[in-house]
Structure 1
Amino acid sequence: MKNLVEFKHITKRFPGVLALNDINLELKAGEVHVLIGENGAGKSTLMKILSGAYRQDEGELLIDGEAVKRNSPIISSSLGIGMIYQELNLIPELSIVKNIFLGSERKKGIFDDREYMYQEAEKYLQMLHLDIDPDTLVKDLGVGTQQMVEIAKAVSKRSKVLVLDEPTSSLTDSEIRELFSIIRMLKEQGVGMFYISHRLEELYEIGDRVTIMRDGAKVGTYRLDEIRMNEMIEKIAGRKIENLYPRNRIPHGECVLEVKNCSGAGFENVSLKVHAGEIAGLSGLVGAGRTELARAIFGIDGYHSGEILLEGKKVKKNSPKEAARAGIGLLPEDRKVQGLALKKNIRENMVVSVLNSLFKNGIVDTKKERTV
């Protein structure tokens, strides 16, 4: 099979960091080439060079055997490269159909051919077994469904190379099965795919070869039918792993949070206890009520029956402000929309929950803010 993409001696530096060091790698037509490694290994940086978001400092990028002298996201897309990032790149205020065709609208005279685009969007959604009206606004979709819309958008471009960066991170088991069936279909059509994941068990189901990266360098490339999972883990870590899942039992303290027979929007009659030093998991499919329960505990959404106790005392007036004062924190499902003020800098985002302690005569004490 011919090489769709070749990285030759690619090196990329950032101030004080050697992000990529002399990387040689290729992607063949109809192949799923898996990239694995710890955070910071260089996987996403390499893919951003392919997408045109970054430019290499040394080395050469070839697409279909031709050297790419000048690259950008627009040029990369025109060369048949499709990107599905881990961070969603949809516009919440636009509909599904408008997101799918953004930048490649079909025209009928001087106007958009809305009927054609609607039917095409519907076709790609049905291909992913998504029973959703293409006119639905993206902001009204769950994170998992938005991820599937990203995939539908990439498939609609008929790209010859797809990069999938942690595509299953927000998907349910049934959605993952649908995604894998789409990947197999694309493989049969000769599409080559780079697949980045930390879920090693799923790689054997859809991958052909795996390249392991560590600290910006390539450790090696292997056929997935020739390398065992424990070998991959040792190569990722750079050391021998004697006990993959050590069981460290830590004694639990007193009950710090108790939910008693709580019912609210999306959950009903839930009871649970969380003790000091304990990690309590909430599991279930998308729509099971996990997020809704967490939001109710933090006081964002109310609950109509039951009670919440913090260190044995009933929470009478629950609100995010009171929850934060009581020592409860929430990392929301959608960090971009619900967790961060993207137009503010890192310092301002870090101190937003403790602003009251930084005020001095109605003005923020910037010196204290920087110290925090």
Structure 2
Amino acid sequence: MKPSVKPNNPHFSSGPCSKRPGYDVSKLDLSTLGRSHRSGLGKQALGLACSKTAELLGLPEGYRVGVVPASDTGAVEMALWSLLGARGVDVLAWESFGSGWVSDILKQLKLQDVREYSADYGDLPDLSQVDFNNDVVFTWNGTTSGVKVPNGDWIPNDRAGLTICDATSAVFAMDLPWEKLDVVTYSWQKVLGGEGAHGMLILSPRAVERLESYTPAWPMPKIFRMTKGGKLIEGIFKGETINTPSMLCVADYLDALNWVEDLGGVGAAIERSEASLATIKKFIAENDWISFLAKDAATVSNTSVCLSVDANADQVKAMVKLLEAEGVAYDVASYRDAPAGIRIWCGATVEPSDVEKLMPWLFWAYEEVTK
């Protein structure tokens, strides 16, 4: 029978992600609208976005947080173009975005001393093969595969190279070992449900030292430049952005940070995400026609939860259309490059109770398309 109870919020998109519970755009502090981002008020708001992020994430002493252009992609590209080339590079990929960084390193930067470690959707590469005398580029969580690294134990504290981590669907939802990460990137529109076009770049002191001691051989686009006269442009990490940001989006991001603070901090945000994953785990244990795309239980993502269904691609597509037509789940198809399946965003802004209400609808939709 068709379920009678629907999720209160059917937004399960993996990006842009659901707004926080209780979100009301009319409640944003819009005092910065119409003002220059370089005004005292504008820089104050942008500086607060940086400092409050560092405070909530509990970043180690000396780590810097900056707002940069072009979402998470822009932040990753800034790091790759500005930092790579000083050492060999080990790059890991197990889904589409990681594969994109492989392509950029090999085909755009055209670096020669590169070792690629790849795995198919559902798997991780062998992390024990990584040489940390090299710079290491990887995603913490594969947004399009639902596969994350299980922890940071594979990263040594005494590494010689830098660790450059695309963590856009992990920051604020997973426990990251900051002292083992030299560059971390993410975007507002993932775990915090913010607006697009803005990226966040977190640098360790080791990354700053590299920036100040190494000059790449290639021309550097203006929006990638983080040094001047051999010194870090500190203003980038104090609210003086490289190009003009949307102050409306800044206000929206600050609202999301306040929400995390009111929840009780990052730990509480992680608990919400883990609670949603626990509901899906229980559902999978009770139904043999659905499974995680991730093959190792230790690597199952708690944000971008990717599911394989015992059905053909057309049937899966029909399931997705049914769920949308009923108004119970929007945008839950797998990423276009991934195997056909269902992808349910379970970041902190999604209510775990809504994930619980969605499960009977998954069963109903599957029965409808396979009967």
Q: Report which of the two has the higher share of strand.
A: 1
Does TM-score exceed 0.5, indicating one fold?
Answer: no
| Larger relative contact order, structure 1 or 2 (CA cutoff 8 Å, min sep 6) | 2
Shorter-chain TM-score range: 0.3 to 0.5
TM-score by length of 1: 0.32
Q: Report which of the two has the higher share of helix.
A: 2
TM-score by length of 2: 0.32
